[in-house]
Amino acid sequence: MKKMLLLSLATLFSAVPAFADTGYGAAVGNAGLYALAAAFVMGIAAWGGTTAQSRIGAAAMEGIARNPQAQPNMFVSMILGLALIESLVILSFVIAIQIVGKF
């Protein structure tokens, strides 16, 4: 719990410069918010993608351990699931690039 609190505080304090006013007007002043939004998009996508991929891998290994003859069928569906999850993470990367491209 203490590590999570420390990590949250470190993230908050490291993001403070993103909210700093540059003095160049509203369009440039929002650049930090766009960068922060892109960072959140990538962070959440990476966390969700790795969590889902680890669960798929664990379930496939458990299924193969219980029934080794079903390995070819499980392997194909596992690879398909991993590819779809990875495509969603790549899509979030494209969205993050578009967010950063706004400034």
pLDDT tens string, the chain, 103 residues long: the values are: 777 777 777 776 666 666 665 555 555 567 778 888 888 889 999 999 999 999 999 999 999 999 999 898 899 999 999 999 999 999 999 988 888 887 6
pTM: 0.63
Q: How many domains does the chain have?
A: 1
Give the model's pLDDT for residue 18: 63
Spell out the residues 6+ positions from residue 30 whose beta carbon is closer than 8 angstroms to its own. Answer: 103
Range of the domain at 21: 2-100
Q: What is the pLDDT of residue 19?
A: 63
CA nearest to 41, candidates 1, 79, 88: 88
CATH of the domain at 27: 1.20.20.10
Residue 24 DSSP code? S
